[in-house]
Amino acid sequence: MKKTLILLGFSLVAAIPVFAQHNEIDVLAGGAKALKTAAGGKSDFQHGFEEISYGVTMEEDTIFKMKLGRMNAKTAFQSKDASGATFVDPADVDPKGQIEYADAVIEYRFSEPFGSTGLFAGTGLYRQTGSNRSESDYGFVGGVNGLFPINRSIGISAEAAYHWVHFYNPKPRYATIGVGLRFVF
């Protein structure tokens, strides 16, 4: 019993630095745009981009973030004919489709007189739904953001991101722009 209490006490003392880490939650809302789809062409920016992320400081000015989000954008699903050639049925194109994602990103921040700016990149899982169909695959994300502190624990966050998703050929691409709040604890 004495050894167990000593080990438990040592573990508690060893975990104290974890509580000193910089953690943050970002909540963003904005618009999304399909840049390239199997249906061809581009779409307009649509309302309906929401994202929440949780970030932990890994090193000074380097943050690991988990992002969960969804965007309303043009979706298309490819089918194969009897000869194996792919085609897009007009019934499988949904201009009001939805993309949901879960990304893991690394962000590097630069100090600025007004707050900070950052560059981020990562990978994740994406699911598109529309036209009574759904499919999932992996994808990549990269972008820039700006953080404007109001006080020590609350700030305004602005972000622009580029999503490359591996649903079909040609690979669909989406752009998102969002503004929201950042909570630091």
pLDDT band, residue 76 (cuts 50/70/90): confident
Lookup: tokens for 176: 């998102």
Question: Taking 90 as the threshold, does the pLDDT of residue 3 lie above it?
Answer: no
pTM for the full model?
A: 0.81
In Å, what is the CA distance from 118 to each residue of 54, 101, 142? Answer: 15, 21, 11
Domain membership of residue 8 (yes or no) is no
Handedness of CA 37, 39, 40, 44 (dihedral sign): negative
Q: What is the CATH number of the domain that holds 100?
A: 2.40.160.20
Domain total in the chain: 1
pLDDT of residue 50: 95
Tens-place pLDDT, residues 130-152:
878 888 889 999 999 999 999 98
Residues listed for the chain = 185
Considering only CA atoms, which of 26, 66, 60, 68 is closest in space to residue 184? 26
> What percentage of residues in the chain have a pLDDT greater than 90?
46
Q: Where in the sequence is the domain holding 55, given as residue range(s)?
A: 22-184
Question: Taking 60 as the threshold, does the pLDDT of residue 15 lie above it?
Answer: no
Question: Taking 60 as the threshold, does the pLDDT of residue 18 lie above it?
Answer: no
Lookup: tokens for 101: 């994602």
Question: Taking 70 as the threshold, does the pLDDT of residue 5 lie above it?
Answer: no
pLDDT of residue 43: 66
User: Span 60-80, mean pLDDT?
Assistant: 88
Domain membership of residue 10 (yes or no) is no
Calpha distance 62→156 (Å, rounded):
19
Domain membership of residue 133 (yes or no) is yes
pLDDT of residue 149: 95
Locus of tokens 């309906």 = 48
